[in-house]
A = this chain, B = another copy of it.
Amino acid sequence: MSDTRTSAGVDNFAVSKKMFTWQVEGERSITILTAGNLATTQSLISLLDERSVSGEERDPSILHQPTMFQVARLVGATLREIIIGASETGQTSADQFGASIIVGGQIKGGKPTVFLVYPEGNFIEITEDTPYFQIGETKYGKPIIVRAYDPKMDFADAIKLLLVSFDSTVKSNLSVGLPFDLQIYETDSFTSDRSKRIQADDPIYQAIATGWGDALRDAFQKLPSYKV
């Protein structure tokens, strides 16, 4: 799941998609989520896009990589190339052009998996112990994931957890906002059919956002008080 707010200061914000999918029917489905400098992430998506249609050998395409690991390597190398290029003017540090990327998907012959790609171009893969990643404004939404995540939870509960986590962030930080983009990938489907944009007036999101406030206050009341 990704939010869609982009901002350069509180007086300059807009809606901008941060989830992008490439697919070859029956063969691969690759989804990228972005966080960080918008010029960097837009360049990344455009370069990956351009190279996936040009079909030329000299420009490696994520549509021709044999494994998800190679896809992550290519995304990392492309991201690094953009950040270093932007920093070469020497006016500012590379940090300012930074971005983090989540790359998930499946290529025929391999299992579905997810990578987190750092601005330096290196990356890590999900593990059984921590089978999720956060990028961008991660801190507000982390405590509920730490507490409520359960590897045995079903997809409906996992989406609920994502909504509660994003909603905690939205209520605490102006740089994150609705609508949210959601994608569920079904193993061996090689499609992104189960995608959805969740608007602020979505009735279930509304029920979760208000219900969560009430549920939190109830839960809070039940705890013992600390008298000093």
A-side interface residues toward B, CB under 8 Å? 139-144, 146-148, 155-157, 159-161, 163-164, 168-169, 171-173, 182, 184, 194, 196, 204-205, 207-208, 211-213, 215-220, 222-228
B156 touches A226 (CB 8 A): yes
A225 touches B142 (CB 8 A): no
A220-B227 in contact given A172-B139, A172-B142 (Cβ < 8 Å): no
Chain B residues whose C-beta falls within 8 Å of the C-beta of A155 in the assembled complex: 228
Q: How far is the CB of A46 from chain B (nearest CB, A)?
A: 29
Chain B residues whose C-beta falls within 8 Å of the C-beta of A142 in the assembled complex: 140, 172
B216 touches A147 (CB 8 A): yes
Q: How far is the CB of A85 from chain B (nearest CB, A)?
A: 25
The listed residue (B168, B215, B220, B227) touching A156 by CB distance below 8 A is B227
Q: How far does the alpha carbon of A160 sit from the alpha carbon of B182 in the complex, in Å?
A: 35
A215 touches B223 (CB 8 A): yes
B160 touches A220 (CB 8 A): yes
Chain B residues whose C-beta falls within 8 Å of the C-beta of A173 in the assembled complex: 139
The listed residue (B161, B223, B225) touching A212 by CB distance below 8 A is B223
A171 touches B157 (CB 8 A): no
A184 touches B228 (CB 8 A): yes
A222 touches B215 (CB 8 A): yes
B225 touches A144 (CB 8 A): no
Q: How far does the alpha carbon of A211 sit from the alpha carbon of B211 in the complex, in Å?
A: 20
The listed residue (B169, B184, B217) touching A148 by CB distance below 8 A is B217
The listed residue (B160, B172, B208) touching A143 by CB distance below 8 A is B172
Q: How far does the alpha carbon of A160 sit from the alpha carbon of B157 in the complex, in Å?
A: 28
Chain B residues whose C-beta falls within 8 Å of the C-beta of A216 in the assembled complex: 144, 147-148, 216, 219
